[in-house]
Amino acid sequence: MSDMEGMDMPGMKASSHLATSKVQTSGKPLSEKKPRIVHKAVDAPAPVVDIGHHMHAMDMGRWFHGVLDEFEGRYQAGGKSSLRWDGEAWYGGDYNRLWLKSEGTMTKGKVHDGDQELLYSRAISTYFNLQGGVRLDLDSRRTRAWGAFGVEGLALYQFEVQATGYFSDRGVAARFEGSYDILLTNRLILQPQVELNLYSRADPRRQIGSGLADIDTGLRLRYEVWRKMAPYVAVTYDSPLTQGRHMARKRGETASEARFTFGIRSWF
């Protein structure tokens, strides 16, 4: 038997066949010749992969992960300095997670822009999660509660993006966030970042104007001393916009502020 004779092509059914010699030998008629049985190797059936069960098995694991993206001091000539934080933590698997997000700014012992969110997320693709839950504006100003619904993930070229819509008895609002890591070296990373907030109605008790309400952006240069700990320096800029800018000027506040910043980024 040649090397090819004993081989099976993928997908062929398991079988055995009879090959009868057509050569007459010893003077015996062909009818008296015993057939020569040639057994072909039996293909093992291809394993059946249950995709749904496989995906469920992948999501069986549960993990806890937290990131403190910003923990920084912002300094400005004239003494108006502030402390800002922005972090998040999640618990869950590859497809379903429970998120807790928090951000805010403290200036002269008072907290403003306090934003706490509790969200459930579901993976809708390899790079994006759909999120929904509640947001609570909790700081030194009037407390507000919102419903939240949005999407976050990695866009083209690894841009981290997030778009969230909010709704309450105060109307609707939206937030857009984006950042991108530029690797200068394996540990030295330059990160541009921007956050925009929009509101359908003004809220004087929270010192928020309608329309495009405010912007918070920065250019941060961090060095990962350890992967979980990275100090950074930055130039940041935050300002109310449109109606919010006029409201700030009426209160005698500086509308826009560009400040020198340094802080720490960490994760666990």
Q: What is the pLDDT of residue 108?
A: 85
- Are 195 and 229 within 8 A, CB to CB? no
> Which sign, positive or negative, has the C-alpha torsion 255, 258, 264, 265?
positive
Classify residue 134: in a domain, yes or no: yes
In a domain, 53, yes or no: no
Taking the C-alpha atoms of residue 193 and residue 181, their distance in angstroms, rounded to an integer, is: 9
Has residue 165 been placed in a domain?
A: yes
Q: What is the pLDDT of residue 229?
A: 95
HEC-encoded secondary structure of 127-147: CEEEEEEEEEECCCCCCEEEE
Tell me if 154 sits within 8 A of 126, measured CB to CB.
no
Range with the poorest average pLDDT among 14-18, 34-38, 73-77: 14-18
Q: Looking at the predicted structure, is the pLDDT value of residue 245 above 50?
A: yes
Residue 96 lies in a domain: yes
Please check whether residue 210 lies inside any domain of the structure.
yes
Helices of type H across the chain: 51-58, 243-250
Q: Are residues 23 and 125 in the same domain?
A: no
Report residue 218 as tokens: 């920065």
Question: With 90 as the cut, is the pLDDT of residue 224 above it?
Answer: yes
- Residue 70 clears pLDDT 70, i.e. is over it: yes
How confident is the model at residue 218, as a pLDDT?
A: 96
- The verdict on 33 and 100 lying in the same domain is no
Whether 13 and 77 map to the same domain: the answer is no
Per-residue pLDDT band for 48 (boundaries 50, 70, 90) equals very low
Place of tokens 């999640």: 90
The answer on 75 and 30 residing in a single domain is no
Domain shared by 9 and 78, yes or no? no
The residue type at 77: A
The residue-averaged pLDDT of 153-157 equals 92
Residue 184 DSSP SS3:
coil
d(CA 210, CA 191): 29
Judge if 15 and 95 occupy the same domain.
Answer: no
Residue 56 lies inside a defined structural domain of this protein: no
Q: Would you say the pTM of this structure is higher than 0.85?
A: no
Residue 59 resides in a domain? no
- Res. 129: pLDDT tops 90: yes
Whether 149 and 32 share a structural domain = no
**Mean pLDDT, the chain, whole residue set:** 82
Section 189-212 average pLDDT: 93
Local confidence band at 18 (pLDDT 50, 70, 90 cut-offs): very low
Per-residue tokens: 212: 């495009």
- Same domain for 223 and 95: yes
Tokens of 115: 């934003």
Domain assignment present for 58:
no
For the domain that residue 157 is a member of, what is the CATH number?
Answer: 2.40.160.40
As a whole number, mean pLDDT of residues 99-107 equals 95
Residues 17 and 149 placed together within one structural domain of the fold: no
Q: In the structure, what pLDDT confidence band is assigned to residue 40 with cuts at 50, 70 and 90?
A: very low
Whether residues 231 and 114 share a domain: the answer is yes
Domain count for the chain, please give it: 2
| 13 and 79 belong to one structural domain | no
Provide the pLDDT for residue 58: 55
Highest mean pLDDT among 23-37, 77-91, 224-238: 224-238
Q: Are residues 9 and 87 in the same domain?
A: no
Domain coverage including residue 37: 1-48
